[in-house]
Amino acid sequence: MKDHFNPEGGLTIRDLRYSRGDFHLQVDLSLSKGSLNCLLGPSGCGKTTLLNLIAGFVPPQGGEILLGGRDLTLLPPHRRRVGVVFQDYALFPHLDVLHNVLYGIKRRFPSLPAPRQIARAREYLDLVRLSGWDKRSVESLSGGEKQRVALARALAPEPELLLLDEPLSALDAGLRVSLRREIARIQAETSLLALYVTHDQEEALSLSDELFLMNRGRILQGGRPEEVYRRPGSLFAASFLGGANFITGRLDQGEGTFLTDAGRRLGVCPSPGFVSGPGRLFFRPEDGRFCGLPENPEAGDFNYFKARLVKTEFLGAFRLFHLLTEEGPVILQAPAGEALPEGELWFKVPRLCCLGFSGQD
């Protein structure tokens, strides 16, 4: 199956620009050959617009798009060798499953004999585990089955790049999990370069080789999912991706410390652009651990906080503990079976997990 695609290189986007009303997009992006990449951001940030620009559905107002060294910037969609899987499937309701998949094959390989075209379509139906579904009406399929047909149709013309625009958002939670695993399997079997757009953080973290965060028409950060999650490069990245706790105060660049508004000095790791002045200390809910009364809260490799329990949320495998500290409200995540310590309630956070961000926005 990998031989069918034989991609020549990655995707490079340089200073790609597009404006519509008050919305302005400007993007630089580089995707490695054979990788599965996720583009994550809030609604309206420009994710789908960027995909439409790459696919050729919308003309850019500046910049360039290169795929395997080929300049796609001004090419019409049918000459780009880019496959697209849409959120709403976009299947042809008057065609059965087989002929939906055949559609792209006939356009891409018009001189291929009909029996070989059909064999190729069935090969891709087998890849998405729909063997024997040739004559089914697409109108009779479930949402997950329709999305499998849409994926087979996008793959069958053997694109060099696959774009997926929130393909699982219309499905229920259990089906989303199983289908995203199928997408990961298919991408691994084909080694096809893919860009997957989503606003689902779990999808993005679990699927991607590289994760890119987008907001207001800009890509703010990219890298391995764990790297982006553990070391966010901005307040937006910290607050948007995963749970977040923020404490306000002042950063001291010289000492590498953080003075809270409550007057306590805490250890902190500097983030990009860290300078002395007003700022926020950030840590994840899972970074905190309940503990007993420390002998010296100011010493060691941890920041310590005295807290009062406000409420708990049971979420199956873990609980969220809503706490009130002298620095303000905090949420901790702990295994559901973990018991709170008796007496005064304290928790600790490794100083290496406490990032300092300049500014208050």
Distance between CA 81 and CA 346 in Å, rounded?
A: 58
Question: In 3D, which of 17, 5, 110, 109 has the Cα closest to residue 58?
Answer: 17
- Per the domain annotation, does 29 fall within a domain? yes
Distance between CA 269 and CA 282 in Å, rounded?
A: 10
Distance between CA 107 and CA 162 in Å, rounded?
A: 17
Contact 155, 148 (CB under 8 A): no
Distance between CA 294 and CA 296 in Å, rounded?
A: 5
Q: Please check whether residues 320 and 250 belong to one and the same domain.
A: yes
* Mean pLDDT across 153-168: 93
Residue 175: what pLDDT? 83
- Per the domain annotation, does 275 fall within a domain? yes
- Per the domain annotation, does 7 fall within a domain? yes
Distance between CA 305 and CA 325 in Å, rounded?
A: 7
Residue 4's pLDDT band, with cuts at 50, 70 and 90, is very low
Q: Please check whether residues 112 and 222 belong to one and the same domain.
A: yes
Residue 171: what pLDDT? 81
Distance between CA 217 and CA 276 in Å, rounded?
A: 29
- Per the domain annotation, does 238 fall within a domain? no
Residue 256: what pLDDT? 83
| Residue 2 in this model has a pLDDT that exceeds 60 | no
* Mean pLDDT across 173-190: 88
- Per the domain annotation, does 247 fall within a domain? yes
Give the range of the structural domain holding residue 122, as residue numbers without chain letter. Answer: 2-233
Out of 233, 256, 276, a domain closes at 233
Distance between CA 281 and CA 269 in Å, rounded?
A: 9
Structure tokens at 70: 């080929």
Within 8 A by CB and 6+ apart from 192, the residues are: 5, 7, 34, 155, 159, 160, 161, 162
Averaged pLDDT of the chain: 91
Q: Please check whether residues 151 and 37 belong to one and the same domain.
A: yes
pLDDT in tens, 315-325: 999 999 999 99
* Mean pLDDT across 18-37: 96
pLDDT in tens, 207-258: 999 999 999 999 999 999 999 999 999 999 999 999 999 999 999 987 889 9
Q: Please check whether residues 209 and 284 belong to one and the same domain.
A: no
Q: Please check whether residues 37 and 177 belong to one and the same domain.
A: yes
Q: Please check whether residues 169 and 314 belong to one and the same domain.
A: no
Q: Please check whether residues 221 and 118 belong to one and the same domain.
A: yes
Q: Is 344 exposed, middle or buried (0-12, 13-18, 19+ CB in 10 A)?
A: exposed
Residue 121: what pLDDT? 94
- Per the domain annotation, does 70 fall within a domain? yes
Of 172-181, 192-201, 329-338, the one with minimum mean pLDDT is 172-181
First to last CA, the chain: 49
pTM over 0.85? The answer is: yes
CA 145 from centre of chain:
23
Question: In 3D, which of 254, 259, 257 has the Cα closest to residue 267?
Answer: 257
User: Contacts by 259-268 with C-beta closer than 8 Å and gap 24+?
Assistant: 260/327, 261/327, 262/326, 262/327, 264/326, 264/327, 265/298, 266/303, 266/351, 266/354, 267/301, 267/303, 267/351, 267/354, 268/351, 268/354, 268/355, 268/356
E strand spans, 23-61: 23-31, 36-40
Contact 69, 9 (CB under 8 A): yes
Phi, psi of 130 (to 5 degrees): -125, 35
Residue 360's pLDDT band, with cuts at 50, 70 and 90, is low
Out of 233, 256, 283, a domain closes at 233
Question: In 3D, which of 97, 73, 60 has the Cα closest to residue 11?
Answer: 73
Q: Please check whether residues 222 and 251 belong to one and the same domain.
A: no
Q: Please check whether residues 229 and 260 belong to one and the same domain.
A: no
Give the CATH number, domain containing residue 275. 2.40.50.140
Residue 6: what pLDDT? 45
Residue 152's pLDDT band, with cuts at 50, 70 and 90, is very high
- Per the domain annotation, does 73 fall within a domain? yes
Give the CATH number, domain containing residue 131. 3.40.50.300
- Per the domain annotation, does 279 fall within a domain? yes
CA atoms within 13 A on the CB side of 168: 23
High-pLDDT (> 70) share of the chain, % = 97
* Mean pLDDT across 75-101: 93
Distance between CA 124 and CA 98 in Å, rounded?
A: 10
Supply the Cα-derived Rg of the chain in whole angstroms: 25
Out of 183, 205, 233, a domain closes at 233
Q: Please check whether residues 201 and 325 belong to one and the same domain.
A: no
Q: Please check whether residues 14 and 104 belong to one and the same domain.
A: yes
Contact 235, 357 (CB under 8 A): yes
How many domains would you assign to the chain? Answer: 2
Looking at residue 246, what DSSP letter applies? E
Residue 105: what pLDDT? 94
Q: Please check whether residues 200 and 333 belong to one and the same domain.
A: no
Residue 8: what pLDDT? 60
Residue 300: what pLDDT? 77
